[in-house]
Structure 1
């Protein structure tokens, strides 16, 4: 089997849409999921593509027979807020991708009016790759941020023994396309690796980096088949960043981390859902006007980046550059690039759904 394939956008979209509609999601929700999965795959995000989205929904979402973590067709309830630039939403366990796209769009509307906008979301279902949503906003000219609590507590706190934190990603994006050709996107899980990366390496028979995970006995392991929990990156620093998400969620209405997505362990009245936080800033709201040598805001941002990458640092990468390079490769291939292992899973899914997944459309990349 070839190492990689190109799958057409239409083939991918039809399969993902069919998969979510088969689980009872509305056409609008299925379309949002397909849009998100395409965005992730287009930018080379292997840990949060369609296979991950379906895996999450199967185990913790609509597929959870005890208590659905994600409810097809759920409606968002917008709660009263005394602050004009801030909104509070009860997602009612709606599909995370659809909720996140709507929340980021609303933040943009608020930022256009007030200079800044934020949306806090309670009773959510994981939205997967936060970088996709902020990147989308940055391409439209905005500074954007989001964080969320991960679906499960899979990370051991610094100096701890038991996983009580999520992988809890932070995602920032900046409108730097005019300056450097792509948005700077700073997006990371607060664990050394995401659990999606563990699953990817397991599919592909690869080993994890050292100090990324522990086995059931709490001992470090690089074998993805033996992983019981993950470790925070940067010791106490990654721990602190992960803790931020849990505390922010606590202010919103978050569940106890160890009960998240585990309804079978939750007592009466306990919540088991993740939380989202979104923020968008209009660049004009930050412009103090005092740029050196008569530069405007855009010129100054470009000059700052040039200075950072100067002085012998010309070979350094900027966050978002790898994703941009993946997008360039996808555009050149005129489709989405997947590994042979991923294509095999897609074919299995297509067969189960009775959807056409023509191998002739999957040419070697």
Structure 2
């Protein structure tokens, strides 16, 4: 790796993250879920959704605003459908709510073959891929989507942002077949707004057809970018629209007032998310070619896709699996010096001793 990374013991990381969340009023369970999820993201190389990003979002839209309420209680609504639950999260911390929703879906899938949980009045849960990856590692097929914190994406051929970056995440239990779970996880904009801000700081230019200016005209100037464009034109637009419509069926807010325009008191301002978990046995036809069982058949399908000269193609989740192997090899979470400095700002906020980067081992390249 070209950038210098230091190895931070996971326990050291988790202690600081828990302290930061508790300092902001969250209870021990919420803080522990937040630290667990942040460590999981960092383990798999997801630097865009690590603890620094999580706490920054909490500052902007969570406990530092009105979007999240520390120590909130989830209200589980009555349902006539045994494999389905609908919750009012009451703006509880997204990571804690999402972990509970995932566990509930798994319990339902064990009993009914499939389970789903729809969550209203939620706070953003960050990296959706982390949750479905966890389910896939435990042998389940899992899916989640959510409405993003803000509307900052224009609809296809539009000029005003009325959609979120609206991610979709799928996880498949393919560890036996390929050595890791296949995880397909994507936002529906060409580029993330955080990436736009990074390019602006570095004096670079945006890729074509990634953003529009305040008048709705395409721009490659990151400082002029007012909104983002869906990837794949009408196809990305349609995928982004799915999240907003699913959120609308659950009870979600108008995207253009989500986490903003709090003066409009008769509208909701919170996000929604949706989880579904499927037990593979519930999909098993038993009619596989050449006497294969389900697991062998999945492997045969993947081998066929990656055959015929495609052997060097990557599978979704492969990069994350490689990052996890690198984390394990180094015996701790990997952070840049700049990230350690940002963690130290959190330590000062909590009244804790900042980390001394020199005492951490330098990561193996």
TM-score by length of 2: 0.94
Residue 340 (structure 2) aligns with = 343
In 1, Cα distance between equivalents of 2:123 and 2:94: 5
The answer (yes or no) to whether the contact 2:128–2:145 under 8 Å persists in 1 is yes
Q: 1:308 Cα deviation (Å)?
A: 0.2
In 2, Cα distance between equivalents of 1:14 and 1:221: 43
Q: 1:2 Cα deviation (Å)?
A: 6.1
Within a 5 Å distance, the mapping from 1:12-161 to structure 2 comes to 12-64=13-65, 68-161=66-159
1:237-278 Cα offsets, whole Å, 9 max, x none, are: 00000000000011000100101001435x232101000100
The answer (yes or no) to whether the contact 1:192–1:230 under 8 Å persists in 2 is yes
1:283-331 Cα offsets, whole Å, 9 max, x none, are: 0000000000000000000000000000000010000001111111111
Q: Note closer, same or farther for the CA distance 1:203–1:19 as it changes in structure 2 (3 Å cut).
A: farther
In 2, Cα distance between equivalents of 1:289 and 1:269: 53
- Structure 1: 5+ residue stretches without partners: none
In 2, Cα distance between equivalents of 1:13 and 1:224: 34
**What SS is found at the alignment partner of 2:190?**
coil
Q: 1:14 Cα deviation (Å)?
A: 1.1
**What SS is found at the alignment partner of 2:122?**
coil
Within a 5 Å distance, the mapping from 1:124-273 to structure 2 comes to 124-199=122-197, 201=199, 207-265=205-263, 267-273=264-270
**What SS is found at the alignment partner of 2:285?**
coil
In 1, Cα distance between equivalents of 2:94 and 2:210: 27
**What SS is found at the alignment partner of 1:123?**
strand
- Which stretch shifts more, 272-281 or 327-336? 327-336
Picking from 291, 294, 298, the partner of 1:297 is: 294
Q: Note closer, same or farther for the CA distance 1:32–1:201 as it changes in structure 2 (3 Å cut).
A: farther
Q: Note closer, same or farther for the CA distance 1:186–1:328 as it changes in structure 2 (3 Å cut).
A: same
Residue 288 (structure 1) aligns with = 285
**What SS is found at the alignment partner of 2:143?**
strand
1:179-236 Cα offsets, whole Å, 9 max, x none, are: 1100000000001122343455567776543322233343444454543211110111
- Which stretch shifts more, 129-138 or 339-348? 339-348
The answer (yes or no) to whether the contact 2:6–2:357 under 8 Å persists in 1 is no
Q: Note closer, same or farther for the CA distance 1:46–1:216 as it changes in structure 2 (3 Å cut).
A: farther
Picking from 308, 324, 334, the partner of 1:311 is: 308
Number of equivalences: 361
The answer (yes or no) to whether the contact 2:262–2:269 under 8 Å persists in 1 is no
- Structure 2: 5+ residue stretches without partners: none
Q: Note closer, same or farther for the CA distance 1:173–1:2 as it changes in structure 2 (3 Å cut).
A: closer
In 1, Cα distance between equivalents of 2:207 and 2:46: 18
- Which stretch shifts more, 219-228 or 121-130? 219-228
Pairwise CA RMSD: 1.8
In 2, Cα distance between equivalents of 1:348 and 1:182: 35
Q: Note closer, same or farther for the CA distance 1:224–1:38 as it changes in structure 2 (3 Å cut).
A: farther
**What SS is found at the alignment partner of 1:120?**
strand
Q: Note closer, same or farther for the CA distance 1:337–1:218 as it changes in structure 2 (3 Å cut).
A: farther
Q: Note closer, same or farther for the CA distance 1:69–1:116 as it changes in structure 2 (3 Å cut).
A: same
Q: Note closer, same or farther for the CA distance 1:79–1:211 as it changes in structure 2 (3 Å cut).
A: same
In 2, Cα distance between equivalents of 1:199 and 1:364: 28
In 1, Cα distance between equivalents of 2:3 and 2:163: 38
The answer (yes or no) to whether the contact 1:204–1:341 under 8 Å persists in 2 is no
Q: Note closer, same or farther for the CA distance 1:25–1:224 as it changes in structure 2 (3 Å cut).
A: farther
Residue 329 (structure 2) aligns with = 332
Q: Note closer, same or farther for the CA distance 1:126–1:156 as it changes in structure 2 (3 Å cut).
A: same
Q: Note closer, same or farther for the CA distance 1:361–1:209 as it changes in structure 2 (3 Å cut).
A: farther
The answer (yes or no) to whether the contact 2:158–2:216 under 8 Å persists in 1 is no
